[in-house]
Amino acid sequence: MSDLETLIPQAVELVIDGEPLAIKPLKVGQMPAFLRAITPVMQQIGGDGIDWLALFGERGDDLLTAVSIAVGRPRAWVDELAADEAILLAAKVIEVNADFFTRTVMPRLDGLITQASTVAAGSTPSST
């Protein structure tokens, strides 16, 4: 892999539902809707892997919407995929955009959690 390929994430080619699909890093125009959909999903993802069944059970609609936005396909197309293809597609979307998640989304979520904890701590009566 060249230095340029390391700096700029490359598309991942997949065959999903019988058609070739290039999973590319998000474009700026996709980010607002994608972030609205993926933020609740990212709050469910822990550090020791992804429990895909739990994730789909709790935040499946958000995840499928985010995948739809990321691959530029209608949500109905994503909804019709076989479960294994949908999970593979979601995993590849997260993988291709992993740098974006680790440098942008996760620190933002950490900041929101810290802010919420500070507000909650400040609103509790002091025991002293």
pLDDT in tens, 55-89: 888 899 999 999 999 999 999 999 999 989 998 99
Domain residues of the chain, as ranges? 3-117
Give residue 3's pLDDT band: very low, low, confident or very high (50, 70, 90): low
**Percent of the chain, pLDDT > 90?**
30
pTM for this model (two decimals): 0.69
Task: State how far the Cα of 4 lies from the Cα of 20, in Å rounded to an integer.
Answer: 25
pLDDT of residue 100 exceeding 80 = no
64-71 CB contacts, 8 Å cutoff, 24+ apart: 64/90, 65/33, 65/37, 66/34, 66/37, 66/38, 66/41, 66/90, 66/93, 67/93, 69/30, 69/33, 69/34, 69/37, 70/23, 70/26, 70/30, 70/34, 70/97, 71/21, 71/23
Give residue 47's pLDDT band: very low, low, confident or very high (50, 70, 90): low
DSSP labels for 80-121?
Answer: TS-HHHHHHHHHHHHHHTHHHIIIIIHHHHHHHHHHHHHHHH
> Would you state the structure tokens that stand for residue 67, as one six-digit string?
């995948």
Report the pLDDT value the prediction gives residue 44, as an integer from 0 to 100. 75
Give residue 96's pLDDT band: very low, low, confident or very high (50, 70, 90): confident
Neighbours of 105 (CB within 10 A): 17
